[in-house]
Amino acid sequence: MGVTYSQFLPPAPTLTEANIPRLDGRVFVVTGGASGVGLELSRLLYYAGGKVYIAGRSTQNGQIAITKIKAEKLDVPPKGPPGELAFLKVTLDDLSSIKAAAENFTAAETRLDVLFNNAGVSNPPKGSLSTQGHELTMATNCLGPYLFTQLLLPLLQQTAGAAPPGSVRVVWTASVAVEFAQAPDVNFATPALNPQRDYDKSKVGNWFLAAALAKQSPEILSVVQNPGNLKTQIVRHFSSIVPLMAAPLLWHAKYGAYTELWAGVSDTLTLKDNGSYVVPWGRLHPAPRADMVAPVKDLLEKDSGVAADYRDFCETAMAEYR
C-alpha cells in the first residue's frame, strides 16, 4: 500500500517550468486543454517554445484559455520566446465528430510530436450516454481518445520516422482509481451501471489502450499516467461533501501537469518503457498491481487476454467512424 499512499503524497516533481527543455519546432495536442490540468500543461509547453493545440468541444472556452495563457505573468521567466497556441474543436463523446477534428489537424500540420489524451469525465449522473449510446464515461475516456489516436497515428508515425527514438509519444490518462479498481475480467467492456465502477474501468481501460498502441506501433512511446489527486472540475459530478472531505489531499492542477509533462517530454523515458505506467509527479510506477500487469503483458507478448479483448471492443465500436 506504500506505493498507493505515495500517489497521494508524492515526492517533489523533477521536471517543471524551472528546468523544462526547449521545445521549439515541436507540435503538441492537449485534449481538455482549456481548463484544469490541460490548461496548466498547455501553458508549460507554450512557454517552452512548443506549438500547442488546445483540443476541446467549446471554441469559446478554447479561445478564453489561449488569451489567459498569453496574458500570464510568470513566476519563472522562460528561457526563450514562447511558441504558438491554437484551438482544435473535438467532441470526444461523439465519435462522428472526431474524424473531422483529425482531418483539420493534419491539414494544418506536417508533424505531431506528442498527443496528450488528457480530457476525461468522472461520475456523471447514472445512465448518462454518449451520442452513439455508449456509457458516457467509457465513451469520453476511452472510445473517443482511442479513435482520435488512431486517426492521428499516421502523422505520429511519420514524425517518429525522422525524430529521436522515443521522443514521439502518446500519453493516456489513468487515475489512482486503478489502485482500487476490481480486477478486469471477461466482462470488462460491459458497463457496470455504477458511476464509480465505470470510471474505474475506464481508467484501467486507458492503460490497456496505451499498451495496445505500444504493441501496434512500437516506434511511438505510449504510456499511461495518473496525474495525481487534484483540485479540478473532474469532481464536479460528485456530491459536494466529497471534495470537502478530500480537500487536504488535493493538489493544484499544475502538479498534474508536471506528471503529464514528465510523461510527454522527459528523456528519462525511452522506448523500453513502452506501455508503462507513470505516477505523480513524474516517475515510473515502482510496483503496479499484478492483476493489472498480467493482461497488459498478455497483450504485449501474445496479443491476447482481457486487455486485447478490450482493444478489440473499442475497434469494433469505432470502426464506422474511421
Each domain of the chain, given as residue ranges in start order, spans 2-321
C-alpha cell at 179: 489502485
- Please enumerate in sequence order all residues whose Cβ is within 8 A of that of 11, keeping only pairs 6 or more positions apart, or say none: 281, 283
Contact 238, 123 (CB under 8 A): yes
pLDDT at residue 255 in the model: 97
Is 203 considered catalytic here? yes
Give the mean model confidence (pLDDT) for residues 152-180. 98
Contact 94, 70 (CB under 8 A): no
pLDDT level of residue 84 (50, 70, 90 thresholds): very high
Catalytic member of 203, 254, 255, 310: 203
pLDDT of residue 19 exceeding 80: yes
Provide DSSP, 226-250: ---SBSSGGGTTS-THHHHHHGGG-
The C-alpha atoms of residue 93 and residue 177 are separated, in whole angstroms, by: 21
**N- to C-terminal Cα separation, the chain:** 41
HSE of 186, CA atoms in CB hemisphere, 13 A: 0
The C-alpha atoms of residue 129 and residue 109 are separated, in whole angstroms, by: 33
pLDDT at residue 231 in the model: 82
Give the mean model confidence (pLDDT) for residues 260-279. 98
C-alpha cell at 17: 517550468
State the DSSP H helix or E strand holding residue 279, giving kind and residue range, or none if neither: strand 277-279
State the DSSP H helix or E strand holding residue 202, giving kind and residue range, or none if neither: helix 195-216
Catalytic member of 47, 146, 199, 258: 199
Residue 15 is which amino acid? L
Which DSSP letter does residue 233 get?
G
pLDDT in tens, 218-269: 999 999 999 999 886 554 434 444 454 455 678 899 999 999 999 999 999 9
CATH class of 2-321: alpha beta
pLDDT of residue 121 exceeding 80: yes
pLDDT at residue 230 in the model: 87
pLDDT at residue 236 in the model: 42
Sign of the Cα pseudo-torsion (233, 257, 171, 22, in order): positive
- Please enumerate in sequence order all residues whose Cβ is within 8 A of that of 147, keeping only pairs 6 or more positions apart, or say none: 95, 98, 99, 314, 318, 321, 322
How much of the chain exceeds pLDDT 70, in percent?
93
pLDDT at residue 237 in the model: 38
pLDDT of residue 62 exceeding 80: yes
Q: Mean pLDDT lowest for which of 22-36, 224-238, 255-269, 276-290?
A: 224-238
pLDDT level of residue 4 (50, 70, 90 thresholds): confident
Question: What mean pLDDT, rounded, does the chain reach?
Answer: 94
Q: Mean pLDDT lowest for which of 11-25, 185-199, 227-241?
A: 227-241
Cα 168 to its chain centre, rounded Å, is 14
The C-alpha atoms of residue 87 and residue 101 are separated, in whole angstroms, by: 11
Give the mean model confidence (pLDDT) for residues 55-82. 95
pLDDT of residue 311 exceeding 80: yes
Is 255 considered catalytic here? no
pLDDT at residue 2 in the model: 60
pLDDT at residue 243 in the model: 52
pLDDT at residue 1 in the model: 54
Residue 229 is which amino acid? N
